[in-house]
Amino acid sequence: MKTITITRPDDMHLHVRNGALLKTVLPYTAKQFARAIIMPNLKQPVVSVEQALVYREEIIAALPASWAFTPLMTLYLTASTSIDEIKNAAESEYVHAFKLYPAGATTHSDSGVADIKAIYPLFAAMEKYGIPLLIHGEVTDAECDIFDRERVFIDTYLIDIVKEFPNLRVVLEHVTTAEAVQFVESVDVNVAATITPQHLLYNRNALLVGGIRPHNYCLPVLKREQHRQALVKAATSGNPKFFLGTDSAPHLTELKENACGCAGCFSAPIAMELYAQAFESANALDKLEGFASFFGADFYSLPRNTGTITLEKIDWEIPANYQENAISITPFKALEVLNWKIA
Ligand code: NCD
Ligand code: ZN
């Protein structure tokens, strides 16, 4: 049987939620990844170091006994974040970044930032104290077409942020366009990007052809095929500016299969398998380890992991759903056949 063994990977963009949902989804990530950058967009956003430490304890308590997994916490940036909190966060060994959500851009982003220019003093403090800024890069203007929102965000905000704060470490999260790839490639080493499995595998036809597919809906929304190809090229290029971030974002099945379905693909149980499939299709399995296990750790100045994982080339069917007590979550690509499996 064909197998590949790589250093244990990290997921540098992950939603694990809290409460019962956390308990249901966390083991799937902990099985695949050594560490994950935990997104702070809970219903009650994680805005202080103190809250992040409480959330971190909840995550650790939700892990099956003796499983080794390290949550890397982030704070939700708001217009009222203080310079002191930025300093605290930078000094905390458990907090690794701030996340900027433009207000209204995605799930639980109501407390996000409405006026990005107004928080430049906060970017200056992050630059000074050396803590990374993670960005959901989409404008929210009602008149901006949803397929243009990432590109317009780059032109309207990101070019200026990177110019004003050249030493600020920035991750443009879940890039979806050729323009985003080109932007990240063209600027300084301080600017990197995460790429999700769904944006490597699918273009926007996967949302609409043959019927509407709520489980393929996430934000930023899937784009045209030319953009998917640019993302595959970036991910498989060996350029350390591009690294793995699943953006696995579980929602209950009933909230996805809904007249107003939630944005987010639950990919955690099959994440490495999906990336292996995408890299194999590009004849680039030899580039998977850098993307999945090295470049993210290097960007965050974390030691590289020591253990390994092995993927086997074998066909298996993704379950229809993951169920526990009252919770049912439909995974990305439910009931489809995958051709890789974690050993
Ligand atoms: C994420 C979620 O549900 O929290 N949804 C998504 O579609 N990616 C939020 C986000 O990262 O935009
Ligand atoms: Zn996300």
Q: What is the mean pLDDT of each run of 10 residues along the chain (343 residues)?
A: 96 98 97 98 98 98 94 98 98 98 92 96 98 98 97 98 98 98 96 99 98 98 98 98 98 98 98 98 98 98 98 98 94 98 95
Q: How far apart are CA 234 and CA 327, in angstroms?
A: 36
C-beta separation of 290 from 255 below 8 A: no
Please report the pLDDT score of residue 1 as a whole number.
83
What's the 4 CA to ligand 1 centre distance in angstroms?
30
What's the 263 CA to ligand 1 centre distance in angstroms?
6
Residue 137 in any domain: the answer is yes
Please choose, from the candidates 90, 155, 156, the residue with its C-alpha nearest in 3D space to the C-alpha of residue 122.
Answer: 90
Q: How far apart are CA 210 and CA 27, in angstroms?
A: 34
Residue 343 in any domain: the answer is no
Taking each helix axis from N to C end, the angle separating 178-186 and 225-235, rounded to the nearest 10 degrees, works out to: 30
Q: Is 255's C-beta closer than 6 angstroms to any atom of ligand 1?
A: no
Residue 314 in any domain: the answer is no
Q: Which atom of ligand 1 is nearest to the CA of 218?
A: 7
Please report the pLDDT score of residue 287 as a whole number.
98
Residue of 11, 37, 42, 106 best suited for mutating to test ligand 1, as the one with most atoms within 8 Å of CB: 106
Please report the pLDDT score of residue 182 as a whole number.
98
Residue 249 in any domain: the answer is yes
Q: Is 78's C-beta closer than 6 angstroms to any atom of ligand 1?
A: no
Q: Which pTM value belongs to this model? A: 0.98
Residue 338 in any domain: the answer is no
Q: Is 263's C-beta closer than 6 angstroms to any atom of ligand 1?
A: yes
Among 247, 286, 298, 315, which one carries the catalytic annotation?
A: 247
Please report the pLDDT score of residue 93 as a whole number.
98
Q: CB-side exposure of 312: number of CA atoms within 13 Å?
A: 7
How far apart, in Å, are the Cα atoms of 301 and each of 126, 173, 190, 295?
16, 18, 12, 10
C-beta separation of 222 from 216 below 8 A: yes
Which of the ligands is closest to the CA of residue 214? 1
The torsion of the CA quartet 135, 138, 140, 143, rounded to 10 degrees, works out to 160
145 carries an active-site annotation:
no
Residue 323 in any domain: the answer is no
For Cα atoms 231, 98, 219, give the angle at the middle one, nearest 5 degrees.
40
Residue 4 in any domain: the answer is no
C-beta separation of 100 from 131 below 8 A: no
Residue 85 in any domain: the answer is yes
What's the 334 CA to ligand 2 centre distance in angstroms?
20
Instruction: Work out how many domains the chain is built from and give that number.
Output: 1
Please report the pLDDT score of residue 307 as a whole number.
96
Please report the pLDDT score of residue 325 as a whole number.
82
Domain of 289, in residue numbers: 10-306
C-beta separation of 168 from 192 below 8 A: no
Quickly list H helices, 202-270: 205-208, 225-235, 253-256
**Which residues lie near ion ligand 2 (Cβ < 5 Å)?**
247
Q: Is 219's C-beta closer than 6 angstroms to any atom of ligand 1?
A: yes
Burial class (CB in 10 A: 0-12, 13-18, 19+), 75: buried
* CATH code for position 69: 3.20.20.140
